[in-house]
Structure 1
């Protein structure tokens, strides 16, 4: 998984005196007895590319629609640029939204689609022409200005929708699963283009996505949501390397989770007795769990090293198992290993040489270990 860190370089969220551009305070949204969003507090800063990440039904799109004004909070308040959005309809908010379906007008050309919002606002014709041309150049579809949506590919329609969202120069751009209809290669290319466009224009972008790699590649910060609530907010590398809960660890990327009980705790390390591993686990960064606490230890697959010959370097954080599954992904291979306890774990190895021969194959016995600093202690 690529772990990026797009967006602002000065990281205003680390400055306690910085004023948030968007403040979401205790916001909830109920549909009957169901809490789609439940007591969310968030600060988003000017110029951020902020991602709301979560599985279907976690409340991320409902939260985005409340920012846009299409839904009204059942409780709480939303401020954009210091202004309380209570009672302000969508068309009066400094916001434009790019919908998942793109919602282009089929009877209009590309240029007419992009110009529509400016025409509704009564902008002069000459200014409209200049701003439409500017946006079409920015998203690299100027040559398609006279075509209609049914004459465009999915990627081209996505660019039209983006140009239409940007042409009114809103303070805030909301993106609802904007790349979901694109194939993988085009999606990856467009992710970097969106980041470049956002940085060039200096606008604040909030994107909703269920795609972890998309969020990690594009966002300055990621908000992981679950069951209508915020699980963790942080820079992509922070959320990936230091998840604050078992849910986040399991949701972001691949994770090996070893359950156990703390048998030794100090400021510098924690020792966990783990039936899953069949041995003690030492977490070298210490932790807040007391002796006797039930915990999980997370180890990312890329942190695990195979012991080629001899014994492990230490008497902990190692085990043997049988290779049960192998996935060859080109740049890396993923190995699923069954431990004597019956638990399955996975690790990855980079394919550094041009060869079709694999040093490990099905049913091989493999010995592996990881450094204590590469385990993360999670209290259950």
Structure 2
């Protein structure tokens, strides 16, 4: 998984109690007949933030984005931008612009004409239009192709033109609906960082909808993980990945091994969980705040696990099984270990040596262990 942007470590207005959000969503719901697409969402998004709504298809993220744009009206709740209630404000009067997944470029217009279209609709003076179009085309490195038409451009180039057209009107908020979905993997990875750099330079608040967790992790200052119309957790990429608030978030972001058990001991520095499935005691390096005897789930990421062929001295934070599948991915290998119960656990090991041989092979008997600090208690 790609590392988070450096910007995330220095940009954190949500931690400042005096910071005012640019976008405030309060108790927003949206129903279509008997179907509830969005359910009582509360969310603050700050000026200059790159915020992502992440979730599977049908979770409500696009509906929420369309309500921000004014294309859908909330069934209840309110949305304000820069302190102004947007309830009765039509889309064309909102301080937002939307970049669609299809890019929606006019095929009969040149790149320059596409970018200038919205400015002409606003009756901006010609000299100012020319100045603004040149500035945004320079920003997205498309000035040399200003005379071309969309059908003469690659997918990545069309994406840049669509972005330039959105930025030309200098909105307070730019909404992006799966903006990189049409690009191939290599171009998508390159464009992710370019978009982050452009957003940082223009200082406009970006709100992006995506189902791609790597995309959200790479580009976002914060992520809102959505499930069944609600936001399960909002946090930085590090918070979402390392400290998921629910089993859904833990399972949706990356890969997680989860073991059910009951709390045997809860202290300030650690929690002990009895796990019948592993026939072992699991020690977690934090207090769960859960009563003894309560059912919980212990989460361990595959890259946090260690593998050994000999049994450990103590049956603490230990799982025993047989290697059933191996996925070689170049930089890492994913090992699927089948436990006695039939359950499979995933382990990710970095391939440090330049060799064609796997350190483990099929049907090897192994023991998996992990440090208490590398696991997390999730309440069921």
Shorter-chain-normalised TM-score: which range? over 0.9
| Aligned partner of residue 179 in structure 2, secondary structure | coil
Select between 227-236 and 360-369 the one with higher mean Cα deviation: 360-369
User: 1:89-128 residue pairs with structure 2 within 5 A?
Assistant: 89-128=90-129
Q: Contact 1:36–1:228 at 8 Å: present in 2 too?
A: yes
Structure 2 CA distance, aligned partners of 1:6 and 1:118? Answer: 34
- State the Cα distance separating 1:278 from its structure 2 match: 2.5
Structure 1 CA distance, aligned partners of 2:32 and 2:14? Answer: 32
Cross-structure match for 1:286: 287
Cross-structure match for 1:41: 42
User: 1:178-327 residue pairs with structure 2 within 5 A?
Assistant: 178-307=179-308, 310-312=310-312, 314-327=314-327
Structure 2 CA distance, aligned partners of 1:42 and 1:107? Answer: 40
| Aligned partner of residue 27 in structure 1, secondary structure | strand
- State the Cα distance separating 1:5 from its structure 2 match: 4.2
- State the Cα distance separating 1:10 from its structure 2 match: 4.0
Moved over 6 A (4+): none
Structure 2 CA distance, aligned partners of 1:81 and 1:181? Answer: 32
Gaps of 5+ in 1: none
The structure-2 alpha-carbon separation of the partners of 1:313 and 1:209, relative to structure 1 and needing over 3 Å to count, comes to farther
Cross-structure match for 1:363: 363
Q: Contact 1:5–1:236 at 8 Å: present in 2 too?
A: no
Q: Contact 1:3–1:213 at 8 Å: present in 2 too?
A: no
Select between 5-14 and 107-116 the one with higher mean Cα deviation: 5-14
Structure 1 CA distance, aligned partners of 2:93 and 2:7? Answer: 27
Structure 2 CA distance, aligned partners of 1:3 and 1:27? Answer: 32
The structure-2 alpha-carbon separation of the partners of 1:165 and 1:6, relative to structure 1 and needing over 3 Å to count, comes to farther
Aligned CA-pair RMSD: 1.2
The structure-2 alpha-carbon separation of the partners of 1:52 and 1:313, relative to structure 1 and needing over 3 Å to count, comes to farther
- State the Cα distance separating 1:142 from its structure 2 match: 1.3
- State the Cα distance separating 1:6 from its structure 2 match: 5.4
- State the Cα distance separating 1:292 from its structure 2 match: 1.2
- State the Cα distance separating 1:3 from its structure 2 match: 3.7
- State the Cα distance separating 1:125 from its structure 2 match: 1.1
Structure 1 CA distance, aligned partners of 2:205 and 2:120? Answer: 24
Structure 1 CA distance, aligned partners of 2:225 and 2:261? Answer: 25
Structure 2 CA distance, aligned partners of 1:290 and 1:60? Answer: 35
- State the Cα distance separating 1:312 from its structure 2 match: 2.4
Task: Give me the TM-score of the superposition, normalised by structure 2.
Answer: 0.97
How many pairs does the alignment contain? 379
Q: Contact 1:297–1:377 at 8 Å: present in 2 too?
A: yes
Structure 1 CA distance, aligned partners of 2:241 and 2:195? Answer: 22
Gaps of 5+ in 2: none
1:56-86 deviations in Å (ceiling 9; x for gaps): 0000000001111111011001010011101
- State the Cα distance separating 1:363 from its structure 2 match: 1.0
- State the Cα distance separating 1:40 from its structure 2 match: 0.2
User: 1:101-180 residue pairs with structure 2 within 5 A?
Assistant: 101-180=102-181
Structure 2 CA distance, aligned partners of 1:327 and 1:346? Answer: 10
Structure 1 CA distance, aligned partners of 2:192 and 2:175? Answer: 15
Task: Give me the TM-score of the superposition, normalised by structure 1.
Answer: 0.97
Structure 1 CA distance, aligned partners of 2:278 and 2:125? Answer: 70
1:158-181 deviations in Å (ceiling 9; x for gaps): 111111111111110000000000
User: 1:7-86 residue pairs with structure 2 within 5 A?
Assistant: 7=7, 9-86=10-87
